[in-house]
Structure 1
């Protein structure tokens, strides 16, 4: 028994001593690859300014800079710089906040000392820290934090941010939480409360890096947003999701905006929603685009050369994108007011046409003539009447309750019905609009768009 225990202890000790030595060369190679990839991105440069290597770990300091001329040509010669401290400990024993065992643990810190004149935070903490624990199977866990900080006058306060996630061979999940941000402005105070970021990518790291489609979901939610003294929004959610049909290799992308309630002076609204969708997107096109752009960035970082080459790629491959007949749809546009509710939807796609040039796609008339659009609108009678009265009152600079305002609003609504632009059914105003070959049609009445 004692002999078995001694062998086990010896094996563990040997692993703890030998394993770090075998990890170190691979780790430094990865560091060089990361720096090289940053340098391949337009406007970015990176270099390792120092390396301290030991048996059980290493520390690298990497200086990353960004040429602001990429954003504004007038800022030619100006750069934003940040020094990152990348400290790694080699496994198998790590005792990190992400776990006890692992292949390595890496802490990436942006200390931010140059910002301490503008911001105040705990002296012992970096402004940003990301910890990554690499597992023996290739999976990893991560956690990142930003400490609470404020400006010298305390007119801006940030409560602190914390997030954590995990990457496996099947998915990446992540969630981050921020309690509150305050901007204490005398004329326009702002407060954001209860921010949550949630990410779920149902793909392995290799698939994600290829740039194509896969099933995913990303949500940004905010419990409450206060703007000024008279505006409050609650239950805000922005959702982004993507899917891939593995049989057809067509992807879709959906973006949704939701607000549970809005209060603005005497105005209130609830259950506001806008959901847009891009459908029938060629997965091959996006995979080819990512592969081409990556190889291009490896050859040059000249913005003019890059944009010119990408323009040629788009023109040469636009047929691959359009053959799948992509669509832009508004699947839900709706809301509720004290006077009633409304809802609308829209579908649109290109007609069967020969492959256009990129220049043609930038001309509005091209889309007006070649787009096929169908839209449906439905709104409660009381809501339409109220909105018309508000509009007329604003133009006439008269009280919304004035008899002449109500009379004029009714005349406008009656005129729209008489012209066939909408109709009244079961206390709801309805309208159906179609567009094709540059012609619009509403309930049989056609009109040119060009």
Structure 2
């Protein structure tokens, strides 16, 4: 509901921003109809249409109907709740003198609200408060600012299998004709489904997008950056207890576009880059606690035209069966995959690090495709991929941490194989430690690990059909055959 409210709110903003002081009323009306229709066509799980629009000299009022396909949105069969519809009331005041939100000069001010009609079967909230409210204005220079509020809500009594509570959400944003910014936050969220419980506290979101509202509404790829942060996240299971706990958790993202000139014909292509970084001060999974967890990822040299076609394919197959989606994506790659591969796409984990009581670790990895000039006869052509794939990975792990990881692996293997029943717990621990030490020693002797004093190191790369492991080269085909 929060996402839907914010997104349809963006539809309204898109409709009012391009108005001029002379024809505010008529131009805004046209923009509202245009942006609502654009949203309806580009979002397969939503439907939207303008039910009514009344324009006067100093103000306008409209009613916008929005529907959401709950089955497609949730990915499950929700039977009678497949479609939920509601109406949003929009009121606008035309400038240059604005009074409905305090006396000011500007092109336009607006209020978008929803009283929750249509959601009573799934949501419960204070009925003295609007379920969603957005207010904003456009100054004489065409710059906009707005605020929105989603009421505190919980599941309706009729929902027995799913229980949740969401504190009041508040956000605010700006738009200057080129960059859209937004910040928002909610104090807490609670969810319970079957035996699983999820608790999230103090969630804050912020972002900036260098894109038109039409691109944002369509879900296109555009340049931008943002962050989602939570003070804490806890997942528990009534049967086994604590499953996961994260503290000071963050996710940062960056998307960028760059121009690349083709050396052969001088044409210019557009390449996309995506960076997604995760972090947590503390992460505890099944009673194993790690500190200062960092996971930085990057996808680069992505052909923008291919990305656009990929997003269009996902929209077109949003309600299709998995097999149909797979076939559509396979067809997409057959027809347009060459441009994607010629751009030398790369996926990298630029940093994966953290520390446990036994010690610290740090690793990175990257895989890319280079030098492709023609598609292979078959996508399963091993020789083609061995020629063009580039890989690199290295890691440093503290020796006590490596020993603990190996010992845990051996212990788990003994337990799953049934051999553990032949030993006491003390004997099992001792056996696991002995076998782990032997495995580590064997890996060092075979060159799979490098002894670096207080740590073990690992360096691996693949290029030009050659595998290099800790400085030792071998033909890739030979190395794969030995595995």
Correspondence 1:411 to 2:469:
no
Q: After superposing the two structures, state which structure 1 stretch, 63-72 or 268-277, moved more.
A: 63-72
Distance 1:149 1:226, change over 3 A: same
Deviation at residue 345 of structure 1 after TM alignment: 0.9
> Structure 2 matches for 1:45-444, cutoff 5 A?
45-66=47-68, 79-95=83-99, 100-151=104-155, 156-183=164-191, 187-202=195-210, 211=220, 213-214=222-223, 216-228=224-236, 229-230=241-242, 231-245=244-258, 249-264=270-285, 266-283=287-304, 315-356=334-375, 367=385, 370-397=388-415, 398=425, 402-436=429-463, 440-443=467-470, 444=472
Q: CA RMSD in A?
A: 4.1
Deviation at residue 172 of structure 1 after TM alignment: 2.0
Gaps of at least 5 residues in structure 1 are: 1-18
Distance 1:204 1:49, change over 3 A: closer
Contact 1:181 1:191 in 2 (8 A): yes
What SS class does the counterpart of residue 130 from structure 2 fall into? Answer: coil
The Cα offsets for residues 358-413 of structure 1, whole Å up to 9 and x where unpaired, read as x9558899656642101111101010001111222223344598322211111111
Contact 2:303 2:343 in 1 (8 A): yes
Deviation at residue 258 of structure 1 after TM alignment: 1.0
Distance 1:118 1:99, change over 3 A: farther
CA distance in 2, matches of 1:55, 1:425: 78
- Aligned position for 1:12: none
What SS class does the counterpart of residue 329 from structure 1 fall into? Answer: strand
The Cα offsets for residues 263-296 of structure 1, whole Å up to 9 and x where unpaired, read as 3464210111111111223446557888x88xx9
What SS class does the counterpart of residue 430 from structure 1 fall into? Answer: strand
Contact 1:439 1:448 in 2 (8 A): no
TM-score by length of 1: 0.80
CA distance in 2, matches of 1:196, 1:73: 28
CA distance in 2, matches of 1:189, 1:308: 37
Deviation at residue 220 of structure 1 after TM alignment: 0.7
CA distance in 1, matches of 2:386, 2:123: 51
CA distance in 2, matches of 1:98, 1:430: 65
What SS class does the counterpart of residue 322 from structure 1 fall into? Answer: helix
Q: After superposing the two structures, state which structure 1 stretch, 140-149 or 226-235, moved more.
A: 226-235
CA distance in 2, matches of 1:91, 1:118: 39
What SS class does the counterpart of residue 165 from structure 1 fall into? Answer: strand
Q: After superposing the two structures, state which structure 1 stretch, 151-160 or 342-351, moved more.
A: 151-160
What SS class does the counterpart of residue 113 from structure 1 fall into? Answer: coil
Deviation at residue 20 of structure 1 after TM alignment: 8.4
Contact 1:199 1:218 in 2 (8 A): yes
